[in-house]
Amino acid sequence: MKINFNSKELESFDYIGDNHIGTSADTPIRKDAFRLNADEKIEIIRDDVKHIMETLGLDLSDDSLMGTPNRVAKMFVNEIFSGLDPKNKPKASTFENKYKYGEMLVEKNITVYSTCEHHLLPIVGRAHVAYISNGTVVGLSKMNRIVDYYAKRPQVQERLTIQIVKELQKVLNCEDVACIIDAKHLCVNSRGIRDIESSTVTGEFGGQFKNKDIRREFIDYIKLETKF
């Protein structure tokens, strides 16, 4: 079904996208998002990408371009947007904190590869995640996997930061979770203002991390130089 927008609506959409304004703390997913299976989605997206490329004037009979629609479709469904499918959500088992570690635990420099939902261009950076155990701990790699899961969907950085914290709060059954993300947005770096030096920093702080001293300790941990 084709939807027509008037000029004022289009201007509003451009304003939101060009200024990178998020409209919801939850990823906007339709109720029928999983009516189609992965193969069916790939088939439809492949045709759509083919149409885009042909509209741009590209010759898809060329050996280099012939497989691009299929590669892009598989990449969208199976890789960079795989975090849209709840079946891919990592299982984060928790364990009793038997060693009674009561200080902050920080997993820093977690690689973030995401996609800006306004222009479908990459967001690349680092996430730093911390929590203070209330009797339960989670495997270190699960923190990385949670970041990766929520990053693999069209995103705004503020939402991504909030989703990571909320998920870990749910897993750990405690409020004392924090996340800071520092990332470059190619929609800023490669188009529009084309500022290749700037990056975006966001933070979400729950429970004890709202205390400025605890928050400062977290930031100091992030600043520590890692040596091997």
Paired tokens of 155: 């995103």
Name beta bridge partners: 124: 113, 184
Catalytic status, residue 155: no
Residue of 20, 155, 174, 185 marked active site: 185
Which H or E run contains 124? Answer: strand 122-132
Q: Can you tell me whether residue 129 is helix, strand or coil?
A: strand
Residue of 117, 174, 204, 208 marked active site: 117
Catalytic status, residue 118: yes
H helix and E strand count, the chain: 8, 7
Distance between CA atoms of 207 and 210, rounded to whole angstroms?
6
Residue of 128, 187, 204, 208 marked active site: 187
Catalytic status, residue 116: yes
215: left (phi over 0), alpha (psi -120 to 50) or beta: alpha
Residue of 118, 128, 167, 174 marked active site: 118
**Helix axes 38-55 and 68-75, enclosed angle (nearest 10):** 130
Catalytic status, residue 169: no
Longest alpha-carbon distance in the chain = 64
In terms of Cα–Cα distance, which of 72, 196, 212 is closest to 124?
Answer: 196
Catalytic status, residue 119: yes
Residue of 116, 155, 179, 208 marked active site: 116
Residue of 107, 119, 155, 163 marked active site: 119
Residue of 107, 128, 155, 157 marked active site: 157
Which residues are annotated as catalytic?
116-119, 157, 185, 187
